[in-house]
């Protein structure tokens, strides 16, 4: 099998978001970076599927030069190679992102059997890049998958819905977006990190088209800070807590 997993570099936001002066990005001066949580499960699943079925796994990102850090992280958990579509760090809208990914996929020597995405990115949350890629390539797309099994020429996908799970069985090649909970992603090992340093990264610099979904500025939601009533310190606070529970009619 030949599997591609697409990831996005995002800041580790912690407890309080601070914006840059131009209000077009999160200030990352004191922050580390990671990929969207759903995508960690996508990469883990790709490694497990290749372990089970043989073949090759590739991780792709569209992002600034620094996003190579995330590509190396994914190769450290077992992904074989990387494709880096390098940007200047500015915002790419979902249509432009999908178009660049499609072009990169078409340029590959071997076609992919399975193209994995996170269900939505942690930061922008546009819910559409994978679906656009699937349409452009003429492939079926299943989203929000929390159970995945490759069975010969098809892939069985389970999606959580309100009262159970919906099952989709689609032929490969296919595009699948996954959600956290699909698996428990491993942490990179030291030997894994060393191996990742020598794995190949194919880099290119696509041109950014004019955005059709054009971010103007970011804003913090109004009234997002409260003044908590301190009920006490340590176990002595227990009677006050029970008082609150009684007031709320929960006892």
Partner 1 sequence: MSLLVFVEDPEDDLSRQALTFSRALGEELHAVLIGAPAAIDGLASYGASVAHMATGLDAYAPAAWAQAIVELIGRLAPSAVVGPGTDRGNEVLAHVAAKTDRPMAANCVSLTPGDPASLVRVRWGGSLLEETLLHGSPALLTVAPHAVAAETVASPAGLVIEEFVPQVSDADLVARASERAGALSAGVSLADADVVVSGGRGVGSAEGFGVIEELAELLGGAVGCSRAVTSAGWRPHTDQVGQTGTKISPEIYIACGISGATQHMAGCRGAKKLLAINPDGEASIFANADYAVIGDLHEVVPAISTEIRKARSQ
In terms of Cβ atoms closer than 10 Å to its own Cβ (0-12, 13-18, 19+), residue 246 is exposed
Per the document, the length of the chain is: 251
Position among 22, 88, 110, 229 found at the interface with partner 1 (CB under 8 A):
229
In the complex, minimum distance from the CB of residue 28 to partner 1, in angstroms, rounded to a whole number: 13
CB of residue 112 to partner 1, shortest distance in Å: 17
Q: How far is the CB of 94 from partner 1 (least distance, A)?
A: 7
- Cα 231 to Cα 247: distance, rounded to the nearest angstrom: 14
Read off the DSSP letter of residue 110.
S
Task: Decide: is 110 part of the binding site for partner 1 (CB under 8 A).
Answer: no
Helix (H) or strand (E) holding 7, with range, is strand 2-7
Residue from 42, 93, 100, 113 touching partner 1 (CB under 8 A): that is 93
Which has the closest alpha carbon to 187: 70, 12, 79, 44?
Answer: 44
Please report whether residue 33 would count as binding partner 1 according to CB under 8 A.
no
Give the total of residues touching partner 1 (CB under 8 A).
87
**Beta-sheet pairing, 9-11 with 33-35:** antiparallel
Q: Which residues pair with 154 in a beta bridge?
A: 151, 171
Yes or no: say if 42 and 34 are a contact pair by the CB < 8 Å rule: no
Within 5-24, which residues bind partner 1 (CB under 8 A)?
13-17
d(CA 170, CA 182) in angstroms, rounded, equals: 18
**CB-nearer residue toward partner 1: 82 or 124:** 124
Question: Does residue number 94 form part of the binding site for partner 1 (CB under 8 A)?
Answer: yes
Based on the shown chain and the rule CB under 8 A, indicate whether residue 203 belongs to the binding site for partner 1: no
| Rounded least distance, CB 109 to partner 1, Å | 26
Distance of CA 181 to the CA centre of its chain: 13
Q: Does 218 bind partner 1 (CB under 8 A)?
A: yes
Residue among 31, 122, 150, 202 that touches partner 1 (CB under 8 A): 122
Binding to partner 1 in span 53-92, by CB under 8 A: none
Near partner 1 in 140-179, by CB under 8 A: 140-144, 146, 158-161, 163-171, 174, 179
Nearest to 60 by CA among 188, 179, 180, 203: 203
The correct pick among 31, 86, 102, 131 for binding partner 1 (CB under 8 A) is 131
């Amino acid at each position: 099998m030949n599997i591609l997993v697409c990831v996005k570099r995002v800041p580790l936001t912690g407890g309080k978001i601070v914006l840059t002066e131009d209000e077009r990005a999160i200030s990352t001066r004191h922050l580390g970076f990671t990929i969207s949580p759903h995508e960690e499960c996508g990469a883990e699943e790709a490694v497990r599927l290749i372990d089970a079925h043989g073949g090759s796994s590739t991780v792709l990102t569209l992002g600034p030069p620094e996003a190579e850090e995330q590509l190396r992280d994914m190769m450290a958990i077992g992904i074989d190679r990387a494709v880096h579509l390098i940007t200047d760090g500015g915002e790419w809208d979902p249509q432009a992102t999908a178009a660049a990914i499609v072009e990169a996929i078409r340029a590959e020597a071997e076609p992919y059997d399975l193209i994995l995405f996170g269900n939505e990115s942690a930061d922008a949350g546009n819910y559409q890049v994978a679906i656009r890629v699937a349409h452009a390539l003429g492939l079926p797309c299943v989203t929000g998958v929390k159970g995945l099994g490759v069975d010969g020429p098809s892939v069985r996908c389970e999606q959580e819905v309100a009262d159970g799970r919906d099952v989709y069985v689609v032929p490969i090649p296919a595009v699948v977006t996954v959600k956290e909970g699909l698996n428990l992603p491993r942490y990179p090992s030291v030997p894994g990190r060393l191996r990742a340093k020598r794995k190949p990264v194919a880099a290119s610099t696509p041109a950014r088209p004019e955005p059709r979904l054009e971010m103007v500025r970011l804003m913090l939601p109004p009234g997002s800070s409260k003044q908590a009533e301190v009920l006490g310190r340590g176990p002595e606070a227990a009677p006050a807590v029970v008082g609150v529970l009684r007031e709320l009619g929960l006892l």
